[in-house]
Copies of this chain bind each other. A is one copy, B any other.
Amino acid sequence: MRTRAALRAALGEQNPRPGLVPTLGALHAGHQALIRQAAAENGRVVVSVFLNPTQFSNPEDLSRYPRDLARDVALAVEVGANLIYAPTVAEVYPAGDATTVHVAGLTDRWEGAARPGHFAGVATVVTKLLNHVRPARAYFGEKDFQQLVVIRRLHADLALPGEIVACRTVRDSDGLALSSRNARLSPTERRQAAVLWRALFRMRTAAEGVTDVDALLAAGEKAILIESAVQLDYLAIVDPTTLEPLDRLVPGARAIIAATVGETRLIDNVLLSRESGVGSAE
């Protein structure tokens, strides 16, 4: 479906409403896990494939993003997608478009600081897509943890349709979180990138005995330092709702990391303290 009208016609006005898995395209096994879960929980699944220009603060980043709709459709249908919604830019941003959605506070730090305008782009496009599709449930990966928190916030604040479902991060055998960006890594960089998960894994293991935040951060930083080719952008232990750095572990506390390998910026996160309603265990 290329237009909202065609999508609405295909879905009809009948309940039950579908599950939605919003993507930028370049589908991988992480997206497929979201689609599988959506297919298990909903009668019909819409996968949106929309490379949203407004969430890329770096135009080069946008131009390098892989585009292959035929491949995305095949991967989505293989695991249970019923409808692919691949709107044009003009369908999502109609002539004269002037409206943006902003989430204050939560978007100031971390990825928001590194990528100015990114979360306004995300918040705006997610608001639009939820209104285009009107799903019963929409599925987002925990890999982009700050994005998930921002989306939960705007979804509650604006009373958007359906329910937001968080899905655990899918990892390669060495623990690297699946991401469309991993395709940009050279074989050497790909090996080096595994240090992000090693650092998070070490922190999660240490958190079973140690609750001192500084000690946990030191353990994670030490693990990263072993791989001198990896530039740490941030490593922090944050509250899972406010994303503010924590002085001490609380239920649901998350370790979040961003680091650059070669020219590719990667992010990941892990739940440190399990007794929480937010996020799944990994």
Contacts and interface: CB of A to CB of B under 8 A. Distances in A.
A83 interface: no
A232 interface: no
A185 interface: no
A104 B102 CA distance: 13
B103 A101 contact: no
Contact of A156 (B94, B127, B161): B94
B157 A128 contact: yes
Interface string A77-98: 0000000000000000110111
A206 interface: no
Contact of A157 (B94, B103, B106): B94
Copies in the complex: 2
Interface in A118-151: 123, 127-128, 131-132
Interface string A95-118: 011111111111000000000000
B104 A123 contact: no
A159 B104 contact: no
A96 B104 CA distance: 10
B160 A131 contact: yes
A217 interface: no
A106 to B, nearest CB: 6
A4 interface: yes
Nearest to A133: B159
Interface string A154-165: 101111110000
A55 to B, nearest CB: 16
Nearest to A120: B102
Nearest to A95: B156
A13 interface: yes
A128 to B, nearest CB: 6
A131 B159 contact: yes
22 contacts: A4-B159, A93-B157, A94-B156, A98-B105, A98-B153, A98-B157, A99-B101, A99-B102, A99-B104, A99-B123, A99-B157, A100-B101, A100-B102, A101-B101, A101-B102, A101-B158, A102-B102, A128-B158, A128-B159, A131-B159, A131-B161, A132-B159
The 9 closest A-B pairs by CB, nearest first: A99-B157, A131-B159, A99-B154, A98-B104, A97-B157, A98-B103, A99-B103, A100-B102, A98-B105
Interface of A: 4, 13, 15, 93-94, 96-106, 123, 127-128, 131-132, 153-154, 156-161, 241
